[in-house]
Amino acid sequence: MHAQPATKQRVLLVDDEPQVLVALEDLLGDDYEIFKTTSPQAALELLDHERDIAVIVTDQQMPRMTGEELLATLPAQSEAQRIIVTGFADVQALIRAVNSGQLFAYVQKPWNPNDLREKVDRAAHQFRLCRRLTTERQLLHQLLDHSPDGIYFKDRDRRFVEANRAYARMVGLADRDQLLGKRLEEVLEDIGLNSEVEREESDVLQNAASALDTIRSYASLGAEPRWLSETRAPVRAQEGTIVGLVGITRDVTDRLSAQRALAESESVLQKQTSLFNAILEGLAEGVVVTDHQGNFLLCNREAERMLGLDANALAVSNWIRLCGLYESDNRTPLAPGNDPLAQAVAGVERTEREICLRSGDALRLRVGLIATPLRGVYGEVIGGIGLLRDLTEHRDMENRLSQAQKMDALGRLAGGVAHDFNNLLSVIQSCGELLLRSLPSNDPKRIELGHILNASQRAALLTRQLLSFSRQSVVQPKTLLLNDVVRAIDPMLRRVISEHIEVITRLGDDAGLVRIDAGQLEQVILNLALNARDAMPNGGVLRIETSNRVNSDDGDPRQPAGDFVVLTIRDTGTGMGAETQSKMFEPFFTTKE
């Protein structure tokens, strides 16, 4: 692309002699756009619509209007530089006109072409500078007038040199002219505020220290205090000396109000968040929240306890595997299509399911899972919420209740059977005793009859145990010697125990007294002895021992401190496994076929 040629500046030539105009045009025409006229009146008309004339070169002596009169009549808005060409003028008067700025230069006839061209060049340059300064000044005034911030300039005496309308309004004035030539304290009556401003401005003027974003309240400007942010900086002359200061003021009342409102809102939000977190952590149920992609966003403490992992490690796509989720049968892994949380993320409304959490092959927990979609402000699904409730203890209680109901039913049944059977035993024992009394002492039938009576006595003990279990018999605890009870049942034990099992009884001489129902204790000994017999089908040894023991307070809950009488029954049989030991106190549990 070719550079556009620079626009030539315009020069107006005014002379009543045409040959002079031609000579001047020949001299200046190559460098300037020339306008020429022989009439001062025509020159004035031209200047009315040609505002870009840079230089006016006029003759002094012309008919009807001199050069001085022409220049004095120029439009006020004309910035053209003025040069007079004269051969008869008062040189001193022209010099005074140049010094006062009314005239840029004068040229005496006959002129020196180089001198004339040089003065016209300097005048055109001066026009350019003046035009640029005017443009910059207009831009500055437009900036001042249209800026929402207050802007002002002060001299070294702290008096306003310039201020825009925004600043005048900020300090409560209708017109900025009310500020010019005055100090702030002459406008505002706030003594404390004025002293602060004076101190800051003096620091700027004396120490060249800029004051940045100083915020203060102008309470005197209206019913409601206004908060203004002020920044001040020194203004320097070309040689660097401080000649004044510039200030920029911004009304930040709304900004501070918004900041306070935001701070209050953040404080409320923080309190609500703390309350929300406290509620979440205090819930007995686990809570999990996911985004619309299934990533876990939140797990409260109870959820982490149940799942064994925190939210960072989990997503809907992997929590079935990582947390060991199974169907309620504890055998079938939970299928992704049956996952309530995945269904909630997909937009399915409330879904409820009981699941099992396993670690390897071991059941950890039974959990009730309720899931619902998490929705945004417009009702769109943005995630899912899951509520986890630990049902393990609840299900255990249900099982125990069911077992207790079964035991209660069995107890009632056993009580009824035992009651009827006890009536039959009463008849058998009575008839047996009467028959025994009627037989001679040497009658061999007395032995078989004795076996019948012993068996009926053991059956009576069994019925008493069944009646006690069903709560239909009266337990009669008495204070008695443990050794006496063992001695009383010893003959019966030896008859019911097989001959290939040796029964050894070792009773401690100092075995103390116990308070217990004798029949229940005999039944315990008999049951243990019969179990021992069954555990030794090929023979063995059954030992029954009594002794005293004093337990020290060593903190073992299985052996409380105090004085105790000990009954020990041991055998050399096969023993019990861990599963059998865990059920040994269940009343109807048996290992017998």
Alpha carbon distances (Å) from 195 to 75, 183, 200, 470? 48, 12, 9, 100
User: What radius of gyration do the chain's Cα atoms show?
Assistant: 60
Say if residue 467 is in the same domain as residue 571: no
Q: Give the CATH number of the domain where residue 223 resides.
A: 3.30.450.20
Give the contacts of 404 (CB within 8 A, at least 6 positions apart). none
Torsion angles phi and psi, residue 502, rounded to 5 = -90, 130
What are residue 387's DSSP bridge partners? 287, 370
Query: Is residue 351 very low, low, confident or very high in pLDDT (cuts 50, 70, 90)?
Result: very high
Contact (Cβ atoms closer than 8 angstroms) between residue 467 and residue 473:
yes
What length is written for the chain?
A: 593
Residue 339 contacts residue 327 (beta carbons within 8 Å) = no
261 within a domain of the structure (yes/no): no
Same domain, yes or no: 185 and 223: yes
- What is the H or E stretch that residue 175 is in? none
C-beta atoms surrounding 300 within 10 Å: 20
The whole-number average pLDDT for the span 535-558 is 84
For residues 560 and 543, is the Cβ–Cβ distance under 8 A? no
Q: What value does the mean pLDDT take over residues 61-81?
A: 81
CATH of the domain at 56: 3.40.50.2300
Cα–Cα distance, 489 to 521 (Å, whole number): 10
Q: What proportion of the chain, given as a percentage, has pLDDT over 70? A: 91
Q: Are residues 430 and 307 in the same domain?
A: no
**CA–CA distances in Å: residue 525 to residues 35, 487, 528, 590:** 145, 11, 5, 17
At 418, the amino acid letter reads A
Report the pLDDT averaged over residues 154-171.
88
pLDDT for the residue 47: 85
Look up the CATH number of the domain holding residue 539.
3.30.565.10
Q: Which of 141, 160, 181 represents a domain boundary (last residue)? A: 141
Using the 3D structure, point to which of 112, 141, 170 is the last residue of a domain.
Answer: 141
CA distance 107 to 59: 9
Residue found under tokens 């020159």: 43
Element (H, E) at 216: strand 211-218
Q: With a cut of 80, say whether residue 29 has pLDDT above it.
A: yes
The predicted-structure confidence for 102-134, as pLDDT tens digits, reads as follows 788 888 888 889 988 998 899 889 889 888 888
* Closest by Cα among 352, 358, 351 to 332: 358
Domain that holds residue 570: 475-593
Are residues 467 and 486 both part of a single domain? no
Q: Which amino acid is at 447?
A: I
Q: What is the pLDDT of residue 3?
A: 42
pLDDT band at 164 (very low <50, low <70, confident <90, very high): confident
Residue 264 in any domain: the answer is no
Burial 466-503 (b: 16+ CB within 10 A, else e): bbbbbebbeeeeeebebbebbeebeebbeeebeeebeb
The tokens for 505 are: 């009884």
Asked if residue 83 belongs to a domain, the reply is yes
Q: What is the 3-state secondary structure (H, E, C) of 282-331?
A: HCCCEEEEEECCCEEEEECHHHHHHHCCCHHHCECCCHHHHHCEEECCCC
Backbone φ and ψ of 525, nearest 5°: -65, -45
Q: Are 245 and 368 in a shared domain?
A: no
pLDDT for the residue 5: 47
Tens-digit pLDDT profile for residues 458-479: 777 777 666 665 654 556 788 9
Whether residue 421 is contained in a domain is answered as yes
Q: Are residues 99 and 207 in the same domain?
A: no
Instruction: Kindly report, residue by residue over 248-286, the tens digit of the pLDDT.
Output: 888 888 888 888 888 888 888 888 888 888 888 888 899
Same domain, 47 and 93: yes
Which of the two residues, 88 and 354, has the higher pLDDT score? 354
Q: Tell me the sheet residues that pair with 4.
A: none
DSSP 183: -
Same domain for 462 and 489, yes or no, is no
Distances (CA, A) of 119 to 51, 82, 83: 21, 10, 8
Task: For residue 506, tell me if it sits in a domain.
Answer: yes
* Residue partners of 35: CB distance under 8 A and separation at least 6: 10, 11, 12, 13, 46, 50, 53
pLDDT digits (tens, 9 = 90+) for 203-250: 888 888 888 888 887 755 555 677 888 889 999 888 889 999 998 888
Q: Indicate if 199 and 211 belong to the same structural domain.
A: yes
pLDDT over 90 at 2, yes or no: no
Angle between helices 392-438 and 445-469 (to 10 degrees): 150
User: Which three-class secondary structure string do you get for 409-472?
Assistant: HHHHHHHHHHHHHHHHHHHHHHHHHHHHHHCCCCCCHHHHHHHHHHHHHHHHHHHHHHHHHCCC
Task: Tell me the whole-structure pTM to 2 decimals.
Answer: 0.45
Residue type, 330: N
Is 458 within the bounds of a domain?
yes
Q: Where does a domain end: 251, 266, 298?
A: 251
Distance of CA 590 to the CA centre of its chain: 59
φ, ψ of residue 425 in degrees (nearest 5): -65, -35
Report the pLDDT value the prediction gives residue 251, as an integer from 0 to 100.
85
The verdict on residue 2 lying in a domain is no
Residue 162: what are its φ and ψ, rounded to 5°?
-155, 150
Q: Could you give the number of structural domains in the chain?
A: 5
Same domain as 226, residue 153: yes
Could you tell me the CATH number of the domain that includes residue 464? 1.10.287
**Are both 424 and 377 inside the same structural domain?**
no
133 in the same domain as 37: yes
Is there a domain that residue 4 lies in?
Answer: no
| pLDDT computed for residue 72 by the predictor | 81
Confidence of residue 486 (pLDDT cuts 50, 70, 90): confident
**What is the model's pLDDT at position 553?**
76
**Which of 15-19, 67-71, 224-228, 404-408 is the most confident on average?**
15-19
Q: Which residue has the tokens 């989990």?
A: 314
Instruction: Map tokens 């908060």 to a residue.
Output: 227
